[in-house]
Amino acid sequence: MGLLDDKVVLVNGGSQGVGAAVARAAVREGAVVAVSGRRAEPGEALVAELAAAGGKAMFVRADLADAEQAKASVTRTAEAYGRIDCLVNSAGLTSRGTLLDTTPELFDEHIAINLKAPFFAMQAAVADMVRRAAPGTVVNVITSSAHGGQPFLAPYVAAKAGLIGLTRNAAHAHRWDRIRINGLNIGWTATEGEDATQRAFHGAGDDWREQAAARLPMGRLGQPDEIADFVVLLLSDRSGVVTGSVIDWDQNVLGGLD
């Protein structure tokens, strides 16, 4: 459909999972894409895949736990392509911790990846858009757990709930610049990262997806490509004037009780 024809899109945390799916969908819709990540191997592999499919893409190596590298992911994209039109913050740290056992170090790790990195990437991207007096869009991939979440997600929830507030604050601050900033609270999704998390922290076996699906209303986990299509819609002009919205992309209904 060409929803993102000629747009320059940076997907932070884009080398796997939801981020990689967003990169694929953005290229399919006509965008020029940069993906950032800490590990070069999956990032370069994704870029090669996109190029083989006829897309234009680059990999930006960045440890998003470092705010300066988060900002540099934007500046390097703008230097390579001349500007940045769209930013997607999809990186996420989901290591476990409760209120009682979370250390200051673990808390800081969550803040760095789940809140600080999006903040400073947005700062750099919005500054580029404002400098050019050009419209732009940002989508922050958040989590339905930000509404409260499980007890073992305390630092994750704290950081991601902050990202909800940041999304709305930034959207309000830059609405007159025609910069639209929205978020998605995604539910349980079948990604490589979730597979590793289930095995590392919950002793999950090879059938954990089937067991999880049986407990969900739609009988399946969410899929990265489904989320990617929604992200692309929010990045594109087809989502109209919508800004400051944080949408629950989930099969459970907030506040609903059985």
**Positions marked active-site:** 156
Whether the Cβ atoms of residue 180 and residue 243 lie closer than 8 Å to each other: yes
Cα separation, 231 vs 138, in Å, equals 9
Calpha distance 70→17 (Å, rounded):
19
**Distance separating alpha carbons of residues 193 and 118, to the nearest angstrom:** 19
Q: Is 64 helix (H, G, I), strand (E, B) or coil?
A: coil
Nearest 10 degrees: Cα torsion 133, 77, 186, 247: 10
Inter-helix orientation angle 224-235/17-28, to 10°: 50
Taking every pair of C-alpha atoms in the chain, what is the biggest distance, in angstroms? 53
DSSP H helical segments within the chain, as ranges?
17-28, 40-52, 67-81, 104-111, 117-131, 154-173, 192-202, 208-214, 224-235
| Both tokens assigned to 212 | 């999880």
> Residue 29 carries which side chain, given as an amino acid letter?
E
